[in-house]
Amino acid sequence: MMEVAGQRVIFGTSEDMAAIQDNSVTLFVTSPPYWNLKNYGHSNQIGSSSYDTYLERLARVWDQCFVKATDNAALVVNINSRRHKKVFYPIAFDIARTIRGWRLWDHLIWYIPNALPQPNHYMERLFDNKFESLLVFIKGNVDDYKFSKPRVPQKYLTADPRAHKKNERGRCLGNVIRIPAYRPPNVKELGYHVAAFPEELVALLIHTYSSKGDVVCDPFLGSGTTLKVARVMGRNGIGYELNQDFEPLIRRRIIEPWAVPDWKSLDILHSSTMTPGMSSPRKIQFVRTETDSSKDAVRSQGCLFTESEP
Whether 298 shows a pLDDT value over 80: the answer reads: no
* Chain length of the chain: 310
Residues 6+ apart with CB under 8 A from 32: 46, 47, 58, 61, 77, 79, 95, 219, 220
Whether 97 shows a pLDDT value over 80: the answer reads: yes
pLDDT of the residue at 124: 60
Q: What phi, psi does 56 have (nearest 5°)?
A: -65, -40
Q: What is the CATH number of domain 2-148+173-260?
A: 3.40.50.150
pLDDT of the residue at 259: 67
Contact present, 26 and 144 (Cβ < 8 Å): no
Residues 6+ apart with CB under 8 A from 18: none
pLDDT of the residue at 127: 75
pLDDT of the residue at 114: 80
Cα 29 to Cα 137: distance, rounded to the nearest angstrom: 10
Burial class, 62, CB count within 10 angstroms (exposed 0-12 / middle 13-18 / buried 19+) = buried
Whether 309 shows a pLDDT value over 80: the answer reads: no
pLDDT of the residue at 307: 45
- pLDDT tens digits for range 221-263: 988 999 999 999 999 999 999 989 899 999 999 999 886 333 3
Cα 41 to Cα 150: distance, rounded to the nearest angstrom: 37
Instruction: Pick the range with the lowest mean pLDDT from 32-41, 190-199, 233-242.
Output: 190-199
pLDDT of the residue at 266: 34
Whether 107 shows a pLDDT value over 60: the answer reads: yes
pLDDT of the residue at 252: 94
Instruction: Pick the range with the lowest mean pLDDT from 46-60, 123-137, 201-215, 254-268.
Output: 254-268
Order of strands, edge to edge, in the sheet holding 131-138?
2-4, 7-11, 236-241, 215-218, 25-30, 69-79, 131-138, 103-111, 176-178
Percent of the chain whose predicted confidence (pLDDT) is above 70: 62
Whether 51 shows a pLDDT value over 60: the answer reads: yes
- pLDDT tens digits for range 132-160: 999 999 998 777 776 776 665 565 555 66
Contact present, 269 and 234 (Cβ < 8 Å): no
Whether 37 shows a pLDDT value over 80: the answer reads: no
Burial class, 173, CB count within 10 angstroms (exposed 0-12 / middle 13-18 / buried 19+) = buried
Higher pLDDT among residues 304 and 85, named by residue? 85
pLDDT of the residue at 175: 83
Whether 130 shows a pLDDT value over 70: the answer reads: yes
Q: Hey, where are the domains in the chain?
A: 2-148+173-260
Binned at pLDDT 50, 70 and 90, residue 186 comes out as low
Amino acid at 272: S
Residues 6+ apart with CB under 8 A from 22: 67, 68
